[in-house]
Amino acid sequence: MSRLTGEFVLRSGRTATEYFDKYQFEADPVLLDQLAEQMAVLIPEGTEVLAGLEMGGIAVVTAVARHAKLPTAFVRKQAKQYGTARLSEGAEVAGRRVLVIEDVVTSGGQVVISTEELRKLGAHVDHALCVIDRQEGGSEALAEAGITLRALLTRAALEAAV
């Protein structure tokens, strides 16, 4: 139900004829919980904090954390301009082994940007976990940044299931 066809501009600026609307599965509490339960199994040993990326990664991280029983951080695209003025809200990330949680990975650009920012805050980030890896160079880009990508689903697997 999340797989759309048409013409879509992606975050990376690329265009695609296929788009996974993550908000369709994130808005379904039963489906999201099932995905989260399976993702929790993929969490690398030693992970201390789960960090979900704005916006789609926030619902995913909250759901995964319920199964993993780990504290969560909510990572903004830009630091809040008032109040706490934080980029990363919730659990403290400094000095802790942090797993980045994302919904969809395409080029890997957003995970790399947010990981750099988390590292500046003192987090130790070696891994990321996503719901869907579109298999368009994301895992390679992450590897260059020292991040291993684990995915619950790949684009190839989803296409094979249709």
Ligand X SMILES: O=C(O)c1cc(=O)[nH]c(=O)[nH]1
Provide the Cα torsion 24, 64, 118, 2; round to 10°.
Answer: -20
User: Is residue 77 a known part of a binding site?
Assistant: yes
User: Is residue 103 a known part of a binding site?
Assistant: yes
32 binds ligand PRP (CB under 6 A): no
- Minimum distance of ligand PRP from residue 45's CB (angstroms): 25
- Minimum distance of ligand PRP from residue 80's CB (angstroms): 15
- Minimum distance of ligand X from residue 22's CB (angstroms): 5
Under DSSP, is residue 151 helix (H, G, I), strand (E, B) or coil?
Answer: strand
What phi and psi, each to the nearest 5 degrees, are found at residue 123? -75, 150
97-105 and 124-133 beta bridge pairing: parallel
Residue 20 contacts which entry, ligand X, ligand PRP, none (Cβ below 5-8 A, type-dependent): ligand X
Stretch that binds ligand PRP, among 35-43, 61-69, 91-99, 108-116 (CB under 6 A): 108-116
DSSP of 51-118, one letter per residue?
EEETTHHHHHHHHHHHHHT--EEEE-SS--SSTT--SEEES--TTSEEEEEEEEESSSHHHHHHHHHH
Under DSSP, is residue 143 helix (H, G, I), strand (E, B) or coil?
Answer: helix
User: Is residue 86 a known part of a binding site?
Assistant: no
108 binds ligand PRP (CB under 6 A): yes
CA distance 45 to 99: 10
88 binds ligand PRP (CB under 6 A): no
User: For binding to ligand PRP (CB under 6 A), which residues are involved?
Assistant: 11-12, 53-56, 102-110, 138
Query: Which residues are documented as binding site for orotate?
Result: 106, 134
Q: Show binding-site residues for 5-phospho-alpha-D-ribose 1-diphosphate.
A: 11, 76-77, 80, 102-110
